[in-house]
Amino acid sequence: MRTRVSLPPLIGHRGAALHAPENSLEGFEQAAELGARWVEFDVMLSADGVPVLHHDHDLQRTAGCPEAVAKLTARDLAQTDVGSHFGASYSGVRIPTLAAAIGCLSRLNLGANVEIKPAPGREVETTRAAISQLQASWPNHLPPPLISSFSAKALVTAAELAPNLPRGWLGEKLPEDWETIVSDLGCSTVHLGWEDLTEAAAREVKSKGYGLVVWTVNDPEVARRCRGWGADAIITDTPPGIAAALSGG
């Protein structure tokens, strides 16, 4: 069963990933300052079962160390500097918990696309922890969070635990049997990468009544093209440039 969702034209990718460290509270603040109304971010699970914000399965790219997020406790992760790699001014930025992120979103009045990013074998466990936290503390003044994932198992679990929350199917490109997949999962939106997106695919998604979200677009011309094909929302690392493109600037 589909749940209705009202999408903004622009969603900040992992906050505002070209302007501040990704998946950080500082990134959310930057996204809000740059005019985003929603942000997208990734939720993983610590070794002790706490949902935290991080994209990669290990910390090599963001913290310069090879440890896996799933092997470290929430306390370990809270002490990990994921800001210095972005720039000296962000030295000391830490990995936030989902609980802290929700508090930040509430203060900034930001809606969210919450991507479940489970480590292999932890699809159900990660989704359960994320949904539990969202149900416990999501503020009433924000629109319901849009839950998305590349993992069908995560989307099934989300549907079982929180059927009232809208869900989005994530894919690099649109497969031939996409409608069966998306319908069976009860998703409201389809999230596709811009590089493989065609006008035919975009219009097919829209003709079936699904919301279309395109990621990750940093080129104004590409943003305008996707919008012209019917995209409801553009996910971008740089909200101001894409906002100007979508408004005709």
Backbone phi and psi for residue 38, each to the nearest 5 degrees, phi listed first? -130, 155
The pLDDT of residue 2 is 81
Could you tell me if residue 205 is inside a domain?
Answer: yes
pLDDT at position 75 is 97
Q: Is residue 23 part of a domain?
A: yes
User: Rounded mean pLDDT of the chain?
Assistant: 97
Q: What is the pLDDT of residue 219?
A: 98
Distance CA 153, CA 123 (A): 6
Question: Domain of 142?
Answer: 10-42+109-246
Q: What is the CATH number of the domain that holds 115?
A: 3.20.20.190
Helix residue ranges per DSSP H, the chain = 25-33, 60-63, 74-78, 98-108, 123-137, 152-161, 178-184, 199-207, 220-228, 239-246
> Is residue 141 in some structural domain?
yes
Asked whether residue 62 is assigned to any structural domain, the reply reads no
Note the pLDDT of residue 161: 98
Taking the C-alpha atoms of residue 42 and residue 193, their distance in angstroms, rounded to an integer, is: 16
Is residue 1 a part of any domain in this protein? no
- Is the pLDDT score of 146 beyond 80? yes
Angstrom distances, CA of residue 212 to CA of 6, 13, 166, 172, 193: 11, 16, 13, 13, 11
Considering the domain boundaries, does residue 179 fall inside one? yes
pLDDT digits (tens, 9 = 90+) for 170-217: 999 999 999 999 999 999 999 999 999 999 999 999 999 999 999 999
Provide the pLDDT for residue 4: 82
* Residue 58 within any structural domain of the chain: no
pLDDT in tens, 10-42: 999 999 999 999 999 999 999 999 999 999 999
Question: Domains in the chain: how many in total?
Answer: 1
Give percent of the chain above pLDDT 70. Answer: 99
Task: Work out the average pLDDT over 211-233.
Answer: 98
Note the pLDDT of residue 142. 98
- pLDDT score for 96: 98
Tell me the residue length of the chain.
249
Q: State the pLDDT at residue 249.
A: 60
Query: Which token pair is 217?
Result: 């677009």
pLDDT at site 3: 84
* The predicted structure's pLDDT at residue 248: 77
pLDDT tops 80 at residue 63: yes
Spatial separation of the C-alpha atoms in residues 66 and 88, rounded to whole Å: 21
> 228's torsion region: left (phi>0), alpha (psi -120 to 50) or beta?
alpha
pLDDT tens profile 110-143: 999 999 999 999 999 999 999 999 999 999 999 9
